[in-house]
Structure 1
């Protein structure tokens, strides 16, 4: 398998504030703070687009690496499928803006698990394309699909926005993709659905059903076991375990179940919301910025998504 050469994350210019959410929803500020764990976090501003964030991240990434645009042979735009414009290709649009002219451009939908799904596909095919690159773009409009006027949707009020770009290749990656295990439990397929409301798509939860929190822990635990078995490692070999920042309580419960100390994970709840599929990349970028990674470190990225899908991707840091 190939691996990640480098990546970049881009944040939008506006912020969501729980005091404003309180004014619209009527939900007490204290209750909202228990969900968001921060008073404000980045969201798309009026006129700002998810594909625009992904473009900025990709442009910075390719310029920093000095990547020959003609060597990028595949561009995958990953997200939830609610793109900025209906019936178009954000992958092709970003490729055109970047000057990439010889790539296959397409979209991949698996909600907040889509980015790592695209990385898995790109890593699996990298060995057959020596000297070529795949560019994976992450971009969603999660905050724009939350209805702050619906108190029943308050569990989603921590949805923020971020764009990301990941460059993959077979040659000299910074992170080698060792293994990726993913599964979907279709029994939860319609627990959340989008509906049209005043000219935009908003997310609505169906009738409350018990068991989703348990399903998160059980599926992640199963996939971690599968991944460690496949790579010949143990929990003690995991240097870092990075999880989507959707639910702090579930994050902590999962670490306890796996026997991984909290010090070997990253908690960004105090400054960010759930930034979609970019969550684990943001955490990985934090580790790099703080120079906490060591050559040979085993990093597990645990991602989840509506549908409901779960994934665990094993990376080895090569420095």
Structure 2
């Protein structure tokens, strides 16, 4: 058995602003707000780097839950693979800054599903090792990959930036990792791709193809069913279902499909954009800070990624 001993989230000092998006793209403000649901949200400022956000989250986490750095055997950074520098390891950089010398440092690339994919890898490894800790860091440069001058990219205008850190260790932890189910439908592999634009990479979508929203709901529903079967639970047993906040309409549609009340989820659209793989960690942190979690709560994290991948992670709360 292994679990998340503790977690932390950090935000950049910059902001993405809907009025500036409108000025750059010409897309009406109302149309942008229909995607962002807020006038502004955290995004990397000029000169800020994603690895620094991850380091900030890790330092806060280890300051609150100190462990011997020699007991940290894995340091993993999860994201899109578009790191602050090419051909470079942000995981190794963070480990160096934290004084971690004996860990295996590596990256997991699965876009906004990468954090939960990395959690599964590290939780399994820690359990097999029978000891030690893993540090899973979730962070990206999503806002820096959006071309605000391109009206066709408006569906991405809600992309923001944040970083999360999870300390994974043996035993139950604050959140026991009960089960994980993930799958990829490779027929969508070319729907989004990066394109070099001068000194940066911009995300481009291929010609519109219908069916993606339905694929989200179908895959999440199927994977939730498999996960609940694996942990011996039913839908009414789910205390909280937390979802990547890329599309509010899909979020609400999934809850209707599962017949789960909105009160069992977290809606942060009025505060944040889509903060990449950190969305569900922000929601989890919110629930804990607001004292809405009870020992024994079954929490389902629904994450998704370009490519397209979907993942369901089941946690049990113990604090």
Shift of 1:313: 0.3
Shift of 1:130: 3.2
Partner of 2:204 in structure 1?
204
Q: Which runs of 5+ in 1 are unaligned?
A: none
Native 8 Å contact 1:130 1:171 kept in 2: no
Rounded to whole Å, the distance in 1 between the matches of 2:314 and 2:137 is 20
Shift of 1:92: 0.3
Alignment of 1:213 onto 2:174? no
Rounded to whole Å, the distance in 2 between the matches of 1:186 and 1:15 is 34
The within-5 A match list for 1:175-254 is 175-254=175-254
Native 8 Å contact 1:160 1:274 kept in 2: yes
Shift of 1:172: 4.2
TM-score, length-scaled by structure 2: 0.99
Q: Which runs of 5+ in 2 are unaligned?
A: none
Q: Give the superposed CA RMSD.
A: 0.7
Rounded to whole Å, the distance in 2 between the matches of 1:289 and 1:59 is 19
Shift of 1:146: 0.1
Partner of 2:22 in structure 1?
22
Native 8 Å contact 1:2 1:125 kept in 2: no
The within-5 A match list for 1:1-319 is 1-319=1-319
TM-score, length-scaled by structure 1: 0.99
Return 62-71 or 159-168, whichever deviates more: 62-71
Shift of 1:131: 3.4
Rounded to whole Å, the distance in 2 between the matches of 1:253 and 1:27 is 26
Rounded to whole Å, the distance in 2 between the matches of 1:260 and 1:100 is 43
Per-residue Cα deviation, 1:43-98 (whole angstroms, up to 9, x for no partner): 00111000000000001111111211111001111000000000011000000000
Shift of 1:134: 0.4
Rounded to whole Å, the distance in 2 between the matches of 1:136 and 1:165 is 6
Name the SS of the counterpart of 1:56 in structure 2: helix
Rounded to whole Å, the distance in 2 between the matches of 1:16 and 1:79 is 20
